[in-house]
Amino acid sequence: MAQIVDTPKRRALMREIGEQGWLGITWPAEHGGKEGDGVYEYLLNEALAGRGGPQIGKGVGIIGKTLIRHGNETLKRELLPKILRNEVEFAIGYSEPDAGSDAAAMKLKATRDGDGWRLNGQKTWTTSAHFAEWYWVGARTDPDAPKHHGITLFLVPLDHPGITINPIWTMGDERTNDVFFDDVWVHDDYVVGEVNRGFQYISEALDLERFTMFTFSQIEQRLDLLCEHVRTATRDDEPLRADPVVRRQIARLVTDGEVARVLGLRFVAASQKGGAPPTAEASEYKLFATELSQRLADASMDIAGPGTQLRVHTDDAPMKGRAESTYRYTVIDTIGGGASEIQKNIIGRRKLGLPKNF
């Protein structure tokens, strides 16, 4: 997952890309899209991530697509054009202190009040909440229904006075947040889809997240960096590239890199225009790509030696210290968007037809 940092430069770049008509490549024409093939959106997302730019992100890739399938006319009219112009940013709130892997255990309470809902409780790990305009948030609207059937999805403005946002700093230097709701009233117009069916929309949005937010280009860049190091560095006055163990490690990583690339393309190929995103393919890609990222980070530290522990941007560190920041950051990718174990459970159930384990 590329770090999401809000800067005027990032917003300006994305706005410019929006003006070119490149956001919403796959969206239907009636919502301002180009009805293009998913592979073009994939190429754009990868090109941006590969140059350290922002990804097409939560707006176009996750929330916009889910709103097109399930949102009411008011939400579509208000938000879809702004998403295409990149005028709005979103934060996503599923996780709570007692609901992570089991997101359906969420307890944020939404009680009926007039022609809307009053929200009280807490979310945690909400990335982007400190700069986004809108909060895509799940809340429990029917405490008596089975847990997957009593959740509703809302869109809430993050500048609402009843919302408090506190930072959590991660080992990957990324900021995420605790978010507290104190009597936050939301009009019915800002309910996404049907009341109590929110978990279905959340599941679809998670499939999109597992593909959109974990790009391949950064893995490829790190692979190139490591290969270049092996090509040029020496150990005990011998060229590193002559070491058969190192050669074997590199060959394996590069081959796995190709597997990750193809798994990403399989998600694109399996996505049907206007249809629900392919679940097993999303989990297979996310699981393999993020675990490979972590293996690659381990191998970079191992192959390039103790100097890799020097901080990122240290000029005389091997690979300019990129290995240590990657080592810290790639742990997070195997957790956010659903941990690796959860991806394995999904593949087991959805693809292999194995029974549920919880």
Ligand X SMILES: Cc1cc2nc3c(=O)[nH]c(=O)nc-3n(C[C@H](O)[C@H](O)[C@H](O)COP(=O)(O)OP(=O)(O)OC[C@H]3O[C@@H](n4cnc5c(N)ncnc54)[C@H](O)[C@@H]3O)c2cc1C
27, 125, 181, 288: residue in contact with ligand X (rule CB under 6 A): 125
Residue 334 binds to ligand X (criterion: CB under 6 A): no
Q: Does 338 bind ligand X (CB under 6 A)?
A: yes
**Which residue in the set 95, 308, 326, 330 belongs to the binding site for ligand X (CB under 6 A)?**
95
Residue 170 makes contact with ligand X by CB under 6 A: yes
Using rule CB under 6 A, residue 100 touches ligand X = yes
Binding mask 261-290 for ligand X (x = CB under 6 A): ------------------------------
3-state secondary structure of 256: helix
Q: Footprint of ligand X on residues 173-232 (CB under 6 A)? A: 174, 176
Which of 35, 203, 339, 350 is the binder for ligand X (CB under 6 A)? 339
| Contact (CB, 8 A) for 296 and 218 | no
SS3 content of the chain, % helix, strand, coil (to 5): 50, 15, 30
Interface region with ligand X, contact rule CB under 6 A, candidates 77-85, 108-116, 122-130, 271-279: 122-130
Based on the shown chain and the rule CB under 6 A, indicate whether residue 126 belongs to the binding site for ligand X: yes
Candidate ranges 113-121, 159-167, 184-192, 334-342; the one touching ligand X (CB under 6 A): 334-342
Q: Is 121 an interacting residue with respect to ligand X (CB under 6 A)? A: no
* Nearest residue relative to ligand X (C-beta): 100
**Which SS3 state, helix, strand or coil, does residue 202 take?**
helix
145, 149, 150, 153 alpha-carbon torsion, rounded to 10°: 180
Tokens of 126: 């909400």
- CB 345, min distance to ligand X, A: 5
Q: Which residues of 144-154 are buried (b: 16+ CB within 10 A; e: fewer)?
A: eeebbebbbbb
CA distances from 213 to 3, 199, 210, 218, 293 (A): 10, 20, 6, 12, 14
Give the H/E segment covering residue 123.
strand 116-123
193 — phi, psi (to 5°)? 70, -150
List residues binding ligand X (CB under 6 A).
Answer: 92-95, 100-101, 125-127, 170, 174, 176, 332, 335-336, 338-339, 341-342, 345, 357-358
